[in-house]
């Protein structure tokens, strides 16, 4: 079940239908903490995946169990999903006939679970790491003293190219980068209001303090299309980088310091 | 008289730019040859942000001078001009809202012919609401390859376990090993 490969560093784990990689730069952190974090992700996959018939989410979708009988974290996740549905005016929606079993909270669960894994690492003392879960990233600190973590935004059509770079100041607090798009898994996002597959954008990348929120915001803003960046501008602490159907990039002005830093320009004092 | 003509031309150019800036997904998808991308049926293209959308599947209709682009409400075309003689000069049209913000078009006329059209991007509302836009698409050659760019990790739409082996992230992970 756990398909974990240990290659020194980074640690790679295949779970949640994707691959999770941990680039940990704290030399003294115990392997046990890393094991705990990765075991947590495997546990979340087993309990929350709509692709697993025995998961709590699947049983809930089949009405075999009531929400009140579910463990607290299942209730918490579904409550957060509902709050995000309201916050996004219905663009983030984990329920619907087009979704697997009518209930698929994966758009929140992955970001949330990976962020929780980061908390497990931090509780054990981790201060410098980049945890990448299938393209969604949570990072903190620096890869080496005085150097910034640099995150590339993938070209939506060319798997081996990036279109932009974001540099987080060395010693950065916990930051998250999440991207939604249709180029890897076509059709898994629909505009919940029209039932249509959104096609105004190729991808939407969201940066902010929480991966759980950045992931959900990226899903919602991608479904919103051209209006997504305007909506993100109203989310305190979050900013987006959109690539439209004609491959034209746009981004929120508050993202500019990270882009400028990656270009090596002295950014404006934030 | 030249001023009125210039105003009419500004309006036309503005309308055409708006029309062409909303190419239908079907057209542009085909042009780009996007692999594996699902586009909805042309007639089903609706949803938010349809301001100024060209009716899908049809080529933009010819626009008569002074006719607003469908679905948009260009402000009255009070073109401002530098002193113009004989249909020459620089003319700036009124600001028009497009989905990425306000756009204003400036044209340069020489001897009654358009010699330059410039879309001026205006900052949209609010401090944090600013949206920058590079008008030009990201061309393949302009994108940075993994080798030439120093990056630690890559953000992208979720890949499957199978697709990981082909991903940039996989290459980065292996380079660490």
Number of other CB atoms surrounding residue A217 within 10 Å: 31
Question: Cβ contacts (< 8 Å) between A233 and chain B: which residues?
Answer: 126, 128-131
Candidates A1, A106, A154, partner chain B, best to mutate (most B CBs within 10 A): A154
Asked if B170's CB is within 8 angstroms of A149's CB, the reply is: no
CB B15 within 8 A of CB B68: yes
Residues of A in contact with B169 (CB under 8 A): 19, 21, 132, 135
pLDDT for the residue A2 = 29
A28 compared with B20, residue with greater pLDDT: A28
pTM (2 d.p.): 0.68
pLDDT at B50 > cutoff 50: no
More confident position, B57 or A126: A126
What's the confidence (pLDDT) of residue A186?
A: 57
Return the bridge partners of A251, or none. A241, B132
Query: pLDDT confidence of B14, banded at 50, 70, 90?
Result: low
Peptide bond into A27 cis (omega under 30): no
Q: What is the pLDDT of residue A196?
A: 77
- Residue among A17, A159, A245 minimizing CB distance to B28: A245
H-type alpha helices, chain A = 31-48, 56-61, 72-87, 106-123, 211-224, 228-232, 256-263
- Can you name the residues that pair with A14 across neighbouring β-strands? A3, A19
What is the per-residue pLDDT across B91-147, written as a single tens digit (0 to 9) for each? 776 665 544 445 556 666 777 666 655 555 544 443 344 555 555 566 544 555 555
Q: Which of B132, B140, B145 sits opposite A251 (nearest CB)?
A: B132
Q: A39: pLDDT confidence band, cut at 50, 70 and 90?
A: very high
Query: A196–B38: do the CB atoms touch at under 8 Å?
Result: no
The span from the CA of A217 to the CA of A204, in Å, is: 9
Q: Looking at residue A44, what DSSP letter applies?
A: H
Contact residues, B window 57-96, toward A, CB-based 8 Å cutoff: none
Residues of B in contact with A249 (CB under 8 A): 133-134, 138
**Rounded CA gap, B49 and A224, in Å?**
8
Q: Cβ of B155 and A8 within 8 Å?
A: no
- Measure B72 CA to nearest chain A CA, in Å: 16
Q: Tens digit of pLDDT for each residue in A209-229?
A: 999 999 999 999 999 998 899
Q: Which tens digits make up the pLDDT trace of A230-264? A: 999 999 999 999 998 888 888 898 898 998 898 88
Pairing of strands B80-81, A249-252: unpaired
Write out chain B residues lying below 8 Å of A13, CB-based. Answer: none
- Chain A touched by B111 (CB under 8 Å): no
Residue predicted with more confidence, B101 or A188: A188
Residues of B in contact with A183 (CB under 8 A): 36-37, 157
For residue B164, the chain A residues in CB contact (below 8 A) are 14, 18-19, 134
Chain A, nearest residue to B136 by Cα:
A248
CB contact under 8 A, A7 and B38: no
Helix (H) or strand (E) holding A232: helix A228-232
Give the contacts of A223 (CB within 8 A, at least 6 positions apart).
Answer: A91, A92, A189, A190, A191, A192, A198
What is the nearest CA distance from A234 to chain B, expressed in angstroms? 7
Average of per-residue pLDDT values in chain A: 86
Calpha distance A215→A225 (Å, rounded)? 16
Between A and B, how many residue pairs show a Cβ–Cβ distance under 8 A?
A: 235
Q: Which residues of A19-33 are buried (b: 16+ CB within 10 A; e: fewer)?
A: bbbbbbbbeebeeeb
Residue B134 has a pLDDT of 53
Closest CA to A257 of B64, B100, B47, B132: B132
Question: Which among B134, B151, B171 is the nearest to A249, CB-wise?
Answer: B134
Q: Please name every residue paired with A19 in a beta bridge, in sequence order, or none if there are none.
A: A14
Note the pLDDT tens digit of each residue in A156-187.
888 778 888 999 999 899 999 999 988 766 55
Burial classification of residue A181, based on how many CB atoms lie within 10 Å of its CB (0-12 exposed, 13-18 middle, 19 or more buried): buried
Measured distance CA(B176)–CA(A7) in Å, rounded = 9
pLDDT above 70 (res A121): yes
- Find the angle CA(B99)-CA(B104)-CA(B108) to the nearest 5 degrees: 145
More confident site: B84 or B104 = B104
What domains appear along chain A, each with residue ranges and CATH number?
3-263 (3.10.520.10)
Distance from CA of A30 to the nearest CA of B (A): 19
- Closest-CA distance, B63 to chain A, in angstroms, reads 23
Closest CB to B100: pick one of A177, A184, A226.
Answer: A226
């Amino acid at each position: 079940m756990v398909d974990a490969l240990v290659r020194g560093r980074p640690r790679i784990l295949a779970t949640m239908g994707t691959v999770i990689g941990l680039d940990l730069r704290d030399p003294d952190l115990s392997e046990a903490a890393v094991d705990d974090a990765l075991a947590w992700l495997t546990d979340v996959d087993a309990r929350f995946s709509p692709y697993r018939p025995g998961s709590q989410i699947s049983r809930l979708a089949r009405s075999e169990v009531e929400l009140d009988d579910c463990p607290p974290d299942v209730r918490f996740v579904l409550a957060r999903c509902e709050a995000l549905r309201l916050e996004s005016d219905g663009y983030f929606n984990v329920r619907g006939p087009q979704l697997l079993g009518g209930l698929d909270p994966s758009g929140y669960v992955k970001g949330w679970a990976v962020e929780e894994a980061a908390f497990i690492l931090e509780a054990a003392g981790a201060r410098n790491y980049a945890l990448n879960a299938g393209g969604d990233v949570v990072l903190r600190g620096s890869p080496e003293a005085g150097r910034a973590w640099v995150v590339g935004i993938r070209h939506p059509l060319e798997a081996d190219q990036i279109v932009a770079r974001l540099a987080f100041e060395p010693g950065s607090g916990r930051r998250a980068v999440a991207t939604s798009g249709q180029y890897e898994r076509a059709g898994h996002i629909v505009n919940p209001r029209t039932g249509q597959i959104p096609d105004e954008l190729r991808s939407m990348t969201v940066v902010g303090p929480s991966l759980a929120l950045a992931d959900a915001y990226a899903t919602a803003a991608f479904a919103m299309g051209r209006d997504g960046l305007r909506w993100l501008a109203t989310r305190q602490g979050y900013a987006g980088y959109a690539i439209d159907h004609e491959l034209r990039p746009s981004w929120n002005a508050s993202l500019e310091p990270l882009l400028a830093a990656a270009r090596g320009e002295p950014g404006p004092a934030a | 008289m030249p001023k009125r003509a210039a105003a009419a031309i500004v309006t036309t150019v503005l309308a055409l730019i708006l029309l062409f800036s909303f190419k239908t997904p079907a057209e542009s998808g085909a042009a780009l040859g996007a692999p594996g991308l699902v586009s909805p049926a042309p007639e089903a293209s609706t949803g938010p942000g349809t301001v100024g959308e060209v009716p899908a599947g049809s080529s933009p209709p010819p626009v008569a001078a002074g006719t607003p682009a469908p679905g948009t409400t260009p402000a009255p075309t009070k073109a401002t001009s530098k002193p113009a003689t004989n249909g020459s000069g620089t003319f700036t049209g009124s600001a028009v809202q497009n989905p990425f913000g306000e756009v204003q078009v400036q044209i340069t006329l020489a001897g009654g012919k358009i010699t330059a059209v410039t879309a001026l991007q205006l900052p949209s509302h609010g401090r944090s609401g600013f949206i920058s836009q590079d008008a030009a698409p990201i061309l393949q050659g302009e994108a940075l390859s993994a080798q030439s760019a120093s990056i630690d990790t890559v953000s992208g739409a979720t890949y499957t376990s199978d697709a990981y082996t082909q991903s940039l992230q996989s290459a980065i992970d292996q380079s660490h090993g």
